[in-house]
Amino acid sequence: MKKLFGAVTLALILVVVIAAVIYAQSVTTTTAIYAQNIGSGDGTAVFTFYDANGQEQYNDSSSFVGVAVGAGVRIDQASMTGLPSGFQGSVVAASDQPLAVVVTEQGVGASGYYRFDSYVGQSQPGNSLFFPQVNRALTSKGKTYYSLLAIQNTGSVAATVHITYTTSSGPVHSSQHLIEPNASLFIDTVSETALGTFMGAATVTSDQPIVGIGHLYAQGVLLAYPGFAGGWTSGTWWSSNAQKYITSKGLVYSTAASVMNLDAVTSTVAITYYPSAGGSFGYTRTLPPLQLVSIDQRYDAAITDSSWTGAMSITPLDGRPFVGFMNLRGLGPYQPVSSLPLASASGSRFATPALQKYISRNGYLWQTAVRVSNVSNQNCTIQVSYFPHGGSALTPRTFSLDAGQSVYVDQRYDSAISSSTFEGAALFECLEGHEIMGSVNFRGLNGPYGDNVGSYNAIPVP
């Protein structure tokens, strides 16, 4: 991969589908890239788009030029005249400053139903990926679920890729594929007839570095999550957004953590909850080998309140690898859902490249809220700095967040944003230098098929 500047930080972003009808339910899908400068000086980046065969289709060197620290841009593939109609592929961003990147993916079906989710661009390719939640023809509550795997070869030569589908009973089906450099492999399980009705996992191995995104989809439903490079054997892994029966705008929101023990023997983990007001409680539990386990906050006996919100962490106690992610669902007629992986706390600053306040797009009125968690044992003064797209930075504001506390920073009601609408990025920092983490929830209101949601983890800033 060529370096485009003297001191280049590469951010590899797998943009899964762009203006392409590929899903089983004939959904036209588009993406948009939100890129934020998290470096120490003005930044310039080039975005190179490759089709599914690895052929360069467009080189965008004008969207991200001289962008100030903390600021960002939105690059909408649907309106890019340099991309051919029906483009499906990936993009590599090369920048002279570190980038934080989020991709939003939205699709409109033939019957008009809409689905949406978002994920963080990947910057660390490896030789293996694990997708713990893969479905085919699985029916639940009136919807039939399939999966789509998108895998990009980020190496300089062709990659031989092996995909193995497994359940707790062992391997079910496998396939081998050749992916040219920069090319992307898209596998929709609707075509994997050998799987039959399937609920399990997929392991991808490659002789070249790869990145990938997994999707779980049904009519009006989309979950998107980056493939896991491997299991976590130590440390504490967090979700800053755990909920039980939280009512908002006519929907009732709850979460469930999906966790898989990747070892062949039973493992033990510690589950800890952190109420928004502070404090903690929890328990230990065992995880059966090679099974996806749901820890649903609605039914977890440890949460005795009828409604509850806070943070959650999982810590492996015996060194056996596991992975996990948090699913958010709004209970209502159309049940919008979103997913984001558990993450480790890794510093006192984080970036949120994609924030919105009353932005009308695709028939929805979009807004965001940032969930900020103080995961240290000391009190923090949090400073939030907003950077509107195409405008000057707003005056920062500060607020206090005690040890273990969490808070929603809703862009609709944040006093730092005085304009009636806002789209841009932000930086959050604990001024005392203690560890914090966060996640962002998108919500699209007033759509013809009910509300829609998406989410992504805030990105640590070095």
Per-10-residue mean pLDDT, the chain, length 462 = 32 41 61 94 93 91 95 92 85 89 81 78 88 93 88 94 94 96 91 95 96 87 88 95 92 94 96 96 96 95 97 97 93 81 92 98 92 96 98 97 96 98 98 97 82 91 89
Residue 320 CA to residue 422 CA, distance in Å, equals 44
* The token pair that represents 238 in the structure block: 């967090």
- In this predicted structure, what is the pLDDT of residue 10? 40
* Sole residue written with tokens 């009601």: 413
Instruction: Provide the 3-class DSSP secondary structure of residue 78.
Output: helix
The model's pTM = 0.92
Residue 154's identity, in one-letter code, is T
Continuous H helices in 258-401: none
Residue 438's identity, in one-letter code, is G
* Sole residue written with tokens 């098929």: 449
Residue 64 CA to residue 38 CA, distance in Å, equals 13
- In this predicted structure, what is the pLDDT of residue 139? 92
CA distances from 192 to 29, 130, 148, 187, 298 (A): 21, 18, 10, 8, 34
* The token pair that represents 336 in the structure block: 């919008």
* The token pair that represents 35 in the structure block: 């890129």
- In this predicted structure, what is the pLDDT of residue 17? 37
* The token pair that represents 197 in the structure block: 């009705």
* The token pair that represents 294 in the structure block: 């749901």
Residue 179 CA to residue 50 CA, distance in Å, equals 13
- Domains with residue ranges and CATH for the chain: 9-226 (2.60.290.11), 237-341 (2.60.290.11), 349-460 (2.60.290.11)
* Sole residue written with tokens 């700095």: 385
- In this predicted structure, what is the pLDDT of residue 5? 28
The set of residues, in sequence order, having a beta carbon less than 8 Å from that of 324 and lying 6+ positions away, is 132, 237, 257, 258, 259, 260, 314, 341, 342
Return the number of other C-beta atoms located less than 10 Å from residue 307's C-beta. Answer: 14
* The token pair that represents 298 in the structure block: 């609605």
Alpha carbon distance, N-terminus to C-terminus of the chain: 24
CA distances from 44 to 65, 205, 285 (A): 4, 34, 48
* The token pair that represents 30 in the structure block: 């588009």
The set of residues, in sequence order, having a beta carbon less than 8 Å from that of 46 and lying 6+ positions away, is 4, 59, 60, 61, 64, 93, 94, 95
